[in-house]
């Protein structure tokens, strides 16, 4: 119980510290994230990603990436994937309030990725080889949740976003499994270079972290000893830049550091307390 209270206190403190920046900030909702008119944008992003994974025995990967970044609204319904510059996760939803400095959505998103290795050492769905060290561990499904998402626009370059998702179905049945997250994002410009920074805190309850990082009787082996995970808070910071090469082409670079919850970095599935990644890429703006 003390551990749970400690983690919730850390999460609450993180929110309060960020809110200190908003106490005197009032104004019109003119942040680009607040645009919910019908329509959107579509971009193709390709580049190189270097990843130092959280998983045990994972190689320090560097490989080519290619993905679509988009946002599209239609009568309040939307789908979005803003990539590394996004404040929060990709997903689909419905915007039911957008006035003054607040925007509220019903949002469906993945709050934790799957672990897809099975006992036959097969690769499913093109899983990255960052999970090579988890051969023999039974698969963990992704944690997909329906959430309430609230965004507070501080000014036209700064936003604070909250996500509250109390129900999970990772075990095949809906159960109360609280998940809370907050992001603080800011952009600024120097000459022709646009910079951004994003800070986040995510609270996972005990059943969620036990599902992904615990070792039960089904997983115990000579390599993986029994382990019980508890609730915790993950913290991350990202910094990046964008330089326009032309009207349709952008050069981008970013680095991100994630500090894992205290009580899972000792899990047999995890190699350390920190996870890091760096990316350089080119983006083509389709519309």
Give which of 21, 15, 17 is closest to 161, Cα–Cα: 15
The whole-number pLDDT of residue 132 equals 67
CATH number for the domain spanning 146: value is 2.40.160.40
Domain span at residue 25 reads 2-285
Structural domains in the chain (count):
1
Residue labelled with tokens 């920046």: 21
Give which of 200, 264, 277 is closest to 232, Cα–Cα: 264
> What pTM was estimated for this model as a whole?
0.82
The whole-number pLDDT of residue 138 equals 84
The whole-number pLDDT of residue 28 equals 37
CA torsion 208-210-215-219 (nearest 10°) is: -30
Could you list the beta-strand ranges (E) of the chain: 39-52, 60-74, 77-81, 91-99, 102-112, 143-155, 158-168, 175-190, 193-204, 232-244, 249-259, 274-285
* pLDDT mean by block of 10 residues, the chain; 287 residues: 43 44 38 79 93 82 86 95 87 94 95 71 44 79 94 93 90 80 95 95 94 90 91 96 95 96 90 92 95
The whole-number pLDDT of residue 140 equals 87
- Cβ-Cβ contacts under 8 Å for 154 (sequence gap 6 or more): 21, 22, 25, 101, 160
């Amino acid at each position: 119980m003390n551990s749970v209270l400690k983690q919730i206190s850390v999460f609450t403190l993180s929110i309060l510290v960020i809110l200190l920046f908003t106490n005197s900030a009032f104004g019109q909702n003119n942040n680009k994230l607040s645009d919910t008119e019908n329509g959107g944008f579509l971009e193709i992003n390709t580049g190189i990603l270097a990843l130092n994974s959280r998983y045990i025995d994972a190689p320090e990967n560097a490989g080519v990436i290619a993905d679509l970044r988009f946002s599209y609204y239609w009568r309040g319904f939307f789908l979005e994937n803003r990539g590394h510059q996004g404040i929060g996760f990709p997903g689909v939803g419905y915007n039911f309030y957008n006035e003054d400095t607040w925007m509220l959505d019903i949002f469906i998103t993945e709050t934790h990725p799957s672990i897809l290795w099975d006992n036959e050492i097969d690769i499913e769905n093109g899983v990255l080889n960052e999970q090579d060290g988890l051969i023999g561990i039974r698969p963990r499904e992704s944690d997909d949740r329906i959430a309430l998402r609230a965004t507070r626009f501080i000014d036209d370059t700064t936003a604070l976003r909250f996500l509250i998702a109390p129900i999970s179905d990772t075990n095949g049945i809906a159960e109360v499994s609280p998940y809370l997250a907050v992001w603080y994002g800011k952009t600024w410009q120097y000459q022709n270079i646009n910079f951004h920074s994003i800070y986040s805190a995510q609270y996972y309850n005990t059943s969620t972290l036990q599902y992904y990082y615990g070792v039960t009787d089904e997983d115990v082996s000579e390599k993986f000893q029994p382990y019980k995970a508890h609730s915790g808070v993950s913290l991350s910071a990202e910094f990046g830049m964008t330089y326009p090469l032309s009207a349709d082409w952008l050069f981008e670079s970013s680095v991100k550091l994630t500090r894992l919850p205290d009580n899972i970095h000792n899990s047999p599935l995890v190699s350390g307390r920190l996870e890091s990644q760096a990316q350089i890429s080119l983006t083509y703006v389709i519309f």
